Amino acid sequence: MRIDHEFDVAFADALARLESYNKHLYRPNTYLHKWWARRCGSTFRLVLKALIEDEAARDYYTPGGLEGKIILDPMMGGGTTLHEAIRLGANVIGADVDPIPVLQARASLSAIPTTQLAQQFRQFHQSLRTEMADHFRTTCPQCARDVALWYVLYGLRRRCACGEALIVDSLTLRHNNDGSVVHLDPTTHDVCLDGAVFSHADAKEKRPLRERSNKTCPTCHTPYREILDAPYYQRYVPLAVSGHCPEHGLFFAAMRPNDWAAIQHADAQRSAIDLPAAAFAIGPGSKSRSLHERRIHNYLDLFSSRQLLYLAAAISWLNRQPAIQDEFSVLIRLNLALLVSTALEFNTLLCGYKGYGARRPGAIRHAFTYHAYSFPYTALENNPLYGRRASGTLENLFNGRILRARQWAKNPVERRPISGRRSCAVPIAGEVDAGTEVRRFDELGDGRRFLLIQGSSTRLNLPDNSVDHIVTDPPYFDSVQYSDLAAFFRVWLRQLLPENGGWSYAADESAVEPTTNGSGADYTTILSGIFAECVRVLKKENGRLIFTYHHWNPKGWAALTLALKRAGFSLVNRYVVHAENLASRHIVGQNALVHDVILVLAPAAAGHVTPWQNLEKIRTGDSQEFCEDCGTAVGWLLANDYIEEEEIAHHWQTLLSNVSGDEGIRVE
């Protein structure tokens, strides 16, 4: 098999360096809903191409080649493997313990008439705008015209010995193209343009306004402290609104009586909103701990009253749809529910504001920019129903994540590297990124059919020796507690799609170490069970298990090695490819690994023997060399039966003695 001895690493690197800057633009049909740690689709396409038997179909830009083959991803997450394999004509099976990956795969892999989809979205969107429009209004500060509100900026309340102050990331609101600067007056809260008042704030009691660098009150000289005795949404005070006037264009304005009235009107309705508080309780978890530490115990508290009113209206509309529906209607509703859910990341008071930067990279810093819960100083309340093209609105996300994705799926396009970041588009004639869903294994046919399984992949309802290859991307040890973070979306999807039966599941069956820098015992146990199932269902003679991996922490490598050894795999080959863009917000400025090692494994019983070097140390000065050496060490440990399990962890600690567990950079 070609991948056993050959893989075009240089070409894979060139493609990944292009794609890692904007993965969602290169593979739009896999980005319907938020998920974490997605790998480059181009890398997985190359892996799958290297499994094709027909040499004429192995070229990256040639369609097909896997017709009649069955590809399994037992930890499918964002669904990269499924999309790449079905494009090449394969039948695919995807499994995940979390319902969100299953729903996303069902929605994005199913072919839907875009005309019907767009028509239903317009009805949905118009209904919400009719019901909610009055809540999201403001006025132009120059002509007093009534216009749609774009967003509201809030300051964080902090206490000192002499009272309260409001803390913001920056007093600057915008750098205009003409060189002028819009900013907040720290005393009056007026919005100013180059020092001159542009919009007067309503004459209410005004707490001192400080930038986040001010940790201590200049009056009483005591540190500012968090206010933990108020609900999270009440820990912020609105400071400025933004909108667009047909005559005067984009504006920022201070809070005026009508703006305060709109917020107070929504707050007055908050207690009557038909959302069951008990269903939104925040459970335990490594990432959720940061919420509990701030005395946030319910997801509803993370949203403004206007945002909750909008979400309740969306839930009501979707659940009013007729009970008896055709297949397309069910899929359209699924798409709309996922749209509302993924928009949550841009419509919560966990969102920050980044528009104050001179380069203005965008207004919203979405909730999971750092792959964890973070709490902004300047919080941004978005208007999800804003009519103009704007980040995080339903209309913008529908056009970008659904319509554009479906159009791309009908005619997929790849990139051909030219030089640096320059490339050209290459349409792949004859390919489609869609298939037909089946409910049983025996319904898989000649190709482009998909079977989705929600549940633990330690127990797959698949026959022995039934899968040609397994291509996956397991969680990277303790890097991201996927199930814990995904609960932010699941509690809402459970309301949007209550008939789905998979909302209650055992989160401890997720293949990730539940605590940061944990012992690795849980990770090893779950992965061992999954890999044992992989051995059972994989065709023994030529079947391959292939996945990508990286981590600084020796505990992660030891846990992975133990799991593979217990399951009975041997390493056939390993390749190192570029995987991460150092400009990514969650790893910027860190000593992050930017490469993955691709591990190509076969059941040890098949007799594939590859000689691996016994390394004394692993090179840690370079990301590529580090991943390459770690792959070599995995191969050597798997190949030597005399190595006892308790020796594996010690061996990894010795190899990585100059890398402590605490230095393991969480790059996912």
Query: CA dihedral in degrees (504, 509, 510, 516; nearest 10)?
Result: 110
In the prediction, which pLDDT does 478 show?
65
pLDDT of residue 407 exceeding 50: yes
Q: Is 557:630 a contact under the CB 8 Å cutoff? A: yes
How far apart (Å, rounded) are the C-alpha atoms in residues 190 and 167? 16
pLDDT of residue 325 exceeding 90: no
The average pLDDT across 213-235 equals 95
DSSP track, 229-265 = SS-GGGGEEEEEEEEEETTTEEEEEE--HHHHHHHHH
pLDDT tens per residue, range 128-141: 999 999 999 999 99
In the prediction, which pLDDT does 508 show?
63
48, 561, 612, 638 from 572: Cα distances, Å = 16, 14, 10, 10
Q: Where are the domains of the chain?
A: 135-301+349-385, 523-668
In the prediction, which pLDDT does 664 show?
40
Between helices 327-342 and 114-132, what is the axis angle to 10°? 50
Closest CA to 471 of 98, 80, 34: 80
- State the CB neighbour count (10 A cutoff) for residue 243: 26
In the prediction, which pLDDT does 292 show?
97
In which residue are the tokens 């809540």 written?
135
In the prediction, which pLDDT does 585 show?
47
In the prediction, which pLDDT does 589 show?
42
- DSSP one-letter code for 654: H
In the prediction, which pLDDT does 586 show?
40
Structure confidence at residue 666 as a pLDDT band (50, 70, 90): very low
The average pLDDT across 182-200 equals 95
Kindly state the percentage of the chain with pLDDT values over 70: 93
Closest CA to 654 of 633, 623, 636, 628: 633
Structure confidence at residue 251 as a pLDDT band (50, 70, 90): very high
In whole numbers, what is the pLDDT of the chain averaged over residues? 91
Per-residue exposure over 307-331, b if at least 16 CB sit within 10 Å of its own CB, e if not: bbbbbbbbbebbeeeeeeeeeeeeb
528's CB contacts (< 8 A; 6+ apart) are 562, 563, 566, 567
pLDDT tens per residue, range 577-634: 998 775 544 433 445 788 999 999 999 988 888 999 999 999 988 899 999 999 999 9
In the prediction, which pLDDT does 499 show?
86
Query: CA dihedral in degrees (646, 650, 655, 661; nearest 10)?
Result: 110
The average pLDDT across 455-473 equals 96
The average pLDDT across 93-112 equals 95
Q: Is 534 helix (H, G, I), strand (E, B) or coil?
A: helix
**Burial (Cβ within 10 Å: 0-12, 13-18, ≥19) of residue 200:** middle
